[in-house]
Amino acid sequence: VVRFQGGNNAGHTIIVNNKKYPLHLIPSGILNPKANCVIANGVILDLEVLVSEIEMFVKDGIKLRDRLFISDRCHLILPYHKALDIAYENARGKGKLGTTGRGIGPAYSDKASYNGIRIYELKDWDLFVEKFKFQTKIKNEILKTFKVAPININKELKKISELRKTVLPFVADTYQLLQKAIAQNKTILMEGAQAVMLDLDFSPYPYCTGSNTIPGMVNTGAGIPVQKIGNILGVVKAYTSKVGSGPFPTELIDKTGVGLQQKGAEFGTTTGRARRVGWLDLEAVKFACEVSGVTEIAITKIDILSGFPKIKVCVGYELPPSVIPASSSVIPAKAGIHIKKIPYSSCGYLELEKLTPIYKEFSGWDEDIMKVKNFKDLPKNCQDYVRFIEKFLGVPIKLISTGPKREEYIKII
């Protein structure tokens, strides 16, 4: 199982034997004793978070040595990245983006501007110290303009010198490891972090993350040749959720939204912040499937919709002609008439804030479906909901998650 992008800004909660494991960096496959796990070069690492996860598993007696491999090409999230992330966010005032404050954007920015420091440098302590001091002095000057306290270089170096002792034994040439696995025809599962709609290029920028989240990143983020990419499983929640600011066409801010948020326990694994929730936006999901080349879909948290008398899905957008983007292929109608079915790809964040969703409404179901194992045993209204999603997207739904436990799912053959 391979992580190929992102950092510890996204979290996944895995439940095994009734125990919860909140993960941010180590691939979730680590809980399968037969799986080897790789943190590949496209991931950026916060050493404190990584070490805390390693220690969590060691404490539980889960073997990591010779199972967890970390690329020395991974760039590091360092204390000044987190300080800058928070400083920039606070400076935006009302225009805050909703960043997690984990230093993701500044770390990727340093990577792109040749100012990053990698695990590779961490192997040579003197070299690391030299680079860290140089970069910290520069970043402290920037922090000064925000009236933020400077980073204490010696204090942080002392902390990092201890963290590296835990991390370095896991460092490996992950490129060669993966190439060997490909040659031996082993099964390789690439684990994405965050959603397609947070992709650096295909999201409503700047409401996005600092990395590319689409499957194409598998090539640059792990060194897997594009022609070796096989099935692409798109994971789609049965409704929509979002953390942070930015346009959210189907957001529910009424009692239905509150009920959905509470029943779905929609609070971030990383920040603990309440997630914004809304009806499933199939126009956005269809775009995500297309740009990702999704071959099959897994629907999650459909059990949360049990008990809602009416359920809606967004099947298109209305947009006043005056705000149709110039790049759109849609031909404006007469004045005063709304344009329907404008594609998601034609919308930037300004259009997404002004459009009106077009909904299709379904009757809900009251039954508890958490123990259902066969699709035909689901309530008819639930089946209709799933089949409509499948038909709209044009991609087969192969898995339906009906609860938080590992065994609570339906496999559709």
The answer on 239 and 321 residing in a single domain is yes
The answer on 181 and 115 residing in a single domain is no
- Select from 228, 243, 262 the last residue of a domain: 228
Among 41-50, 128-137, 205-214, 259-268, the range scoring the smallest mean pLDDT is 259-268
pLDDT digits (tens, 9 = 90+) for 120-163: 999 999 999 999 999 999 999 999 999 999 999 999 999 999 99
How does the average pLDDT of the chain come out, rounded?
Answer: 92
The answer on 178 and 134 residing in a single domain is no
The answer on 224 and 108 residing in a single domain is no
Residue 120 lies in domain? 75-168
pLDDT digits (tens, 9 = 90+) for 333-366: 444 455 556 889 988 999 999 999 999 999 999 9
Q: Can you give the pLDDT at residue 335?
A: 46
DSSP codes, 134-177: HHHHHHHHHHHHTT-PPP-HHHHHHHHHHHHHHHGGGEE-HHHH
Q: Write out the two tokens for 397.
A: 């739904």
- Select from 125, 143, 168 the last residue of a domain: 168
Report, in this order, helix, strand and coil percent for the chain, each rounded to 5: 40, 20, 40
The answer on 202 and 65 residing in a single domain is yes
Beta bridge mates, 394: none
DSSP state of 212: -
pLDDT digits (tens, 9 = 90+) for 80-129: 999 999 999 999 988 888 888 899 999 999 999 999 999 999 999 999 99
Q: Write out the two tokens for 254.
A: 């009424």
Q: Can you give the pLDDT at residue 17?
A: 81
Q: What are phi and psi of 344, to 5 degrees?
A: -55, -40
The answer on 280 and 197 residing in a single domain is no
- What angle do the packed helices 153-167 and 125-145 form, to 10 degrees? 140
The mean pLDDT value for 196-209 works out to 94
The domain total for the chain is: 3
The answer on 277 and 214 residing in a single domain is no
Q: Above 50 in pLDDT, residue 220?
A: yes
The answer on 392 and 336 residing in a single domain is yes
The answer on 189 and 253 residing in a single domain is no
Instruction: Tell me the CATH number at 401.
Output: 3.90.170.10
Instruction: Tell me the CATH number at 190.
Output: 3.40.440.10
Instruction: Tell me the CATH number at 160.
Output: 1.10.300.10
- Select from 228, 243, 276 the last residue of a domain: 228
The answer on 117 and 37 residing in a single domain is no
